[in-house]
């Protein structure tokens, strides 16, 4: 017998909600009675799964009950490659598809994510009337799964696009000049999910332990977008709200969990603050004093301000690269990580139209928008009068004559 999401019925008893007459506690009591181990004539093997083993009732974990625990962790490179092979065995793959490369570039994804990635790649190939799924489709599906769906319907003003371009360029440039930062994967100002822009980094391999230097570099990158807005426009926007939230949480964990604050010291603080509905007691008391809480707040602020100063120093020293990267984002909308050295060397970014990369999409979309506007203007003029219609036709003929792709009129 298999029970999924065991924490739904197996949480700590006595949470203060309903007492022993709570329906959930009655279910747990009956489960414990059935698993008492006194019946020897039944051959029932009970297996359960949960993402929160820390909130399970202690009686469930005693010998004779769920006393054997198997940790199913996030798969590594070999595990991801095997999962990709399983989900792609019935999908025709092109010769250029290397599942080992895909596995290396998808750290942190679990089985359901990888299955979704393969499915999205197959859908993209089917929409393009392809007979096989190639590496281009997998890369596009990977960006959709890891970065969110592109929202092409969101139309930003030119000022918003410029602010977003410098914001993302600030993130990318700080990451580019940070020693222990993860390699840049893609920088885009195309809205994805709820974000107006995105800077994605992919680690070279799976990481299980992080140094203080790496976390400080991560904080510098998070503060790079806000700092770029402040340096270039002398103004702040609400676009850095999520960056500040992540940076604050990361700095707080450095102080109270990981012992990375010299002022607070190697201590773990504030662990007694637990959510009531996760099965903890209704009355909890803080194990820190008001003075210690004030010191923690000061340390968090100090760490974030130091990261902001380091980011500002990098952006100020490389202001020409910041402007170059922002202008490239405004032109191509998406810059890949391998494009940045070429861009800073003064070379032209290559965009191949056949592979559907966002740079070529942006040009085609701008051309399509211009054509739609021209057609709409022609329709509005044609309804006014015959005279305006003839002027529109004359202007159209003039554009056709001066077009470099058309033959000269005889």
The residue that leads in pLDDT, 121 or 34, is 121
Mean of pLDDT values over 59-82: 88
CA 247 – CA 225 distance, rounded (Å): 12
Spatial contact of 358 and 334, defined as CB atoms under 8 Å apart: yes
pLDDT tens by residue, 229-272: 999 999 988 888 899 999 999 999 999 999 898 888 888 886 54
Task: Clarify whether 168 is annotated catalytic.
Answer: yes
pLDDT tens by residue, 167-209: 999 999 999 999 888 889 889 998 887 888 889 888 877 778 8
Whole-number average pLDDT of the chain: 79
Determine the longest span between alpha carbons in the chain, in angstroms. Answer: 103
pLDDT at 15: 58
The residue that leads in pLDDT, 248 or 381, is 248
pLDDT tens by residue, 60-69: 888 888 888 8
Catalytic residue among 81, 139, 168, 229: 168
Tell me which DSSP letter residue 289 carries. Answer: -
Burial class (CB in 10 A: 0-12, 13-18, 19+), 226: buried
pLDDT at 36: 76
pLDDT at 286: 62
């Amino acid at each position: 017998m298999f029970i999924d999401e065991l924490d739904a019925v197996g949480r700590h008893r006595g949470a203060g909600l309903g007492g022993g007459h709570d329906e959930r506690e009655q279910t747990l009591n009956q489960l414990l009675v059935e698993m008492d181990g006194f019946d020897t004539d039944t051959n029932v093997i009970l297996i359960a799964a949960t993402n929160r083993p820390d909130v399970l009732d202690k009686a469930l974990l005693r010998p004779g009950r769920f006393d054997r625990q198997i940790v199913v962790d996030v798969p590594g490179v070999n595990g991801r490659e095997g999962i990709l092979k399983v989900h792609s065995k019935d999908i025709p793959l092109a010769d250029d598809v290397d599942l080992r490369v895909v596995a290396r570039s998808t750290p942190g994804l679990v089985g359901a994510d990888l299955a979704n990635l393969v499915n999205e790649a197959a859908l993209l190939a089917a929409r393009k009337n392809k007979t096989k799924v190639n590496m281009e489709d997998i890369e596009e599906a990977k960006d959709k799964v890891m970065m969110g769906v592109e929202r092409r319907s969101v139309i930003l003003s030119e000022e918003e696009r410029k602010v977003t371009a410098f914001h993302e360029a600030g993130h990318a440039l700080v990451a580019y000049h940070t020693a222990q930062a993860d390699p840049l994967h893609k920088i885009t100002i195309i809205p994805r999910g709820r974000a107006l822009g995105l800077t994605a980094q992919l680690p070279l391999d799976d990481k299980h332990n992080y140094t203080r230097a790496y976390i400080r570099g991560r904080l510098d990158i998070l503060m790079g977008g806000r700092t770029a807005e402040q340096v270039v426009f002398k103004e702040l926007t609400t676009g850095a709200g999520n960056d500040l939230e992540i940076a604050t949480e990361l700095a707080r964990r450095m102080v109270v969990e990981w012992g990375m604050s010299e002022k607070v010291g190697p201590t773990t603080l504030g662990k007694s603050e637990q959510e009531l509905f996760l099965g903890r007691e209704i009355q909890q008391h803080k194990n820190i004093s008001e003075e210690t809480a004030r010191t923690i707040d000061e340390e968090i602020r100090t760490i974030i301000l130091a990261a902001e100063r380091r980011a500002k120093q990098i952006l100020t020293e490389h202001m020409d690269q910041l402007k170059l990267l922002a202008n490239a984002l405004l032109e191509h909308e998406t810059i890949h990580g391998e494009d940045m050295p070429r861009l800073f060397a003064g070379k032209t970014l290559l965009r191949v139209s056949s592979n559907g990369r966002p740079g070529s999409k942006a040009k085609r979309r701008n051309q399509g928008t211009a054509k739609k506007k021209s057609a709409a203007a022609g329709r509005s003029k044609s309804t006014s009068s015959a005279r305006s219609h003839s002027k529109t036709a004359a202007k159209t003929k003039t554009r056709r004559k001066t077009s470099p792709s058309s033959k000269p009129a005889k």
